[in-house]
Amino acid sequence: MYNVQSPSRNTDCPTSSKPAMANRLLDWFSVVMADSKHRRQHPKPKGHFPIGCQSEVRWMFGHLDSDSDGRLSLSELYGLEHDQNEPCLKPFLDACDTDSDIFVSGPEWCGCFSKAERPCAAVRRRSSPDSAPTCDSRGYYRSTQCHRGLGLCWCVDPHGVEFAGTRTRGAKPDCDMIVNKISSGGLKTNSVDLDDDEDGGTDSAQDLEGSADQPLDF
């Protein structure tokens, strides 16, 4: 984790990409935390965390801190940082160790994510007024989303993933009912029924998923 990076590796991750890396990790932390709570697995993080450190960040620290010593070692971070599909992940985590002692403390870990934004807030900041998503007070997506310019509305999960078959034109869908059906296993996410679109076009999977670094486009 703390070895000097080769020049070719460094060019894979420009400095401007690191904030988006923090946003994606924060979004992923929240998904893993929610799944763990559903499975009734609640690792309690050890160590000191500064005021304002986000709950997902504290939770993931405890999840990674397998020996509960209040700091993250090279071996504890190994599985997280060695993702070949994320060239910015290792440089991002390297930078967390601000005192270069080969451990990441609670304050250092929280500092890495101090400017990270939750998925809806990150997208809203870069969106036009017509396409800006509606966020809750924590920065996640509200269940009902609309594109004012196109007159379309649809239902999403807190991370902006659209629920299949929920697009309506001219009226808002009953997203509370949709969410209840999702909770009971009656519907699925990650696929979208486009039959309601009058133009008959198709949207890519990237267009249909809101995320911390990709606004929802049409």
102-148: pLDDT as tens digits:
999 999 999 999 888 888 888 888 888 888 999 998 888 999 999 98
Q: Which domains does the chain have, with CATH numbers?
A: 16-113 (1.10.238), 119-184 (4.10.800.10)
Q: What is the mean pLDDT of the chain?
A: 76
Closest residue by Cα to residue 163 from 148, 135, 136, 144? 144
Tokens found for residue 75? 């071996």
For helices 74-81 and 55-64, angle between their N-to-C axes, nearest 10 degrees? 110
**Stronger pLDDT, 211 or 152, i.e. the higher one:** 152
More confident residue, 182 or 166: 166
Share of the chain above pLDDT 90, in %: 28
Residues 32, 60: contact at Cβ < 8 Å? yes
- Report residue 213: phi and psi, to 5°: -130, 10
On whether the pTM is more than 0.75, the answer is: no
Secondary structure letter of residue 146 according to DSSP: E
Q: Tens digits of per-residue pLDDT, 27-51? A: 888 888 887 766 666 566 666 888 8
Strands 104-105 vs 144-147: parallel, antiparallel or unpaired: unpaired
Residues ≥6 apart with Cβ < 8 Å to 25: 89, 92, 113, 116
Tell me how crowded residue 206 is: count the other CB atoms within 10 A of its CB.
10
